[in-house]
Structure 1
Amino acid sequence: MIVPETPQHPDILIRAAVAADEPALAALDRATWSPLHAVLPAPEPGQPFFGEGHPPEHYQVAEIGGAVAGYVRTVPPTPLPCNAHVRQIQGLAVATAARGRGVARALVRAAMERARAEGATRITLRVLGHNAPARALYAAEGFAVEGVLRGEFFLDGGYVDDVLMGRSLLH
C-alpha cells in the first residue's frame, strides 16, 4: 500500500515483511542500533534478524525506491485471551538516509492500521525516556504516557526511564 499521508515523500511503500527481507533488515538493524533506543547489545554481523518469536509476519517494511528504508514490529503483548484486543509496537527503525522523510510516521500509522484490521482496539509501546524524537513522534500520533518505570535500565553509564505509552484505536 502506498501511504499518501506522507507529503514529504509520497513514494513510501509499506508492505508486509517476507523471509527474503532478512539480509536488508539485519543490516538496517546493525546500522541503526543505538543506546538511545536499544536495551539489548548491538546485533552481531551474521546474526539472524528473524527467529523464534520474531517471524516475518510480525513486521511491516517501508521501502523507498525499492530499497528497505525501515521497519516496525507489531505483536500481541501477551498470549492471554483477555489481552487479545491489544497490539504492541516492539521495534521501529528507519535508515539514516531516510530519516526526516516521514518513514517513521508512515510505519506507526501502518502499525495502527494493521492492528485495527486484526481487531485490536488499543495499541501500546515502550520507549526509553531519553529518546525525545521517538516520544515526540508517538505523542504526535495520539499516544499518551500511561506510566513511567523510573531508572528501569542502566545504559551507557546512566539510569534510563522506561516510558509506557498507549492509545485507543477506536477513534
Structure 2
Amino acid sequence: MKPLITILAVSLTACASIGEPGKNRVTYESNFAGNHAVLAYCVTEKLQKDGRWSMRLLQFRNRTFQDTDASEILAHDMRLLPGVYARNSPTNPDAVMEYVSPAPEVVHTYDRIDQAYLMPAFRFSLMLKATDGATVSASLKGNLHLGRMAWQYLQTCARPE
C-alpha cells in the first residue's frame, strides 16, 4: 500500500509542476533611456556576434510594431525549427550558417496570440516599449540563462559610451 501511495504522490507532484505551453514568467523588467528601435538593433547585433555555444544555437528575430511604439526580439532554438538539416545545423562544425539580418522586421499589429511563443523552439522574448520620447520599458520572458545574457547586452546598449 505504501509504494502505491508514494508513486501516486510523485506522479501528482510531477504533473502539478508542468506549466502551460506559451506561458512564460517575466524574468526581468526595468526602464532604460533610449529609443526602442535603436536598442533592439544593438541587442540583436550583439546577440548574433556572441560566440558562446548556447547563443550559437539560437536564431533571433527583431520585430518592430507599427500600431504600438515597441520592438521585440524573439529567440528560437535553430535545432528545433523546421527546415534545419545537417548542412545548416548549428551543432555541425562544417555547416553553412544562415544568419538573419539584425534589421527590424516591420509588423503592422501586435498579436498576443502569436505562434512564435507556442513553438517548442521558443527560448525568450525581449519586449521594448516606448514610455515617452526618452525612455523605454523593457521586459524579458523565457529561459532564465539565455535571457540573462540578453539582458546584460541590453544594459550595455543602454549605457552611453
Task: Return the TM-score normalized by structure 1.
Answer: 0.25
Structure number with the bigger relative contact order (C-alpha 8 A, sep ≥ 6) is: 2
Between Structure 1 and Structure 2, the one with more strand by share is: 1
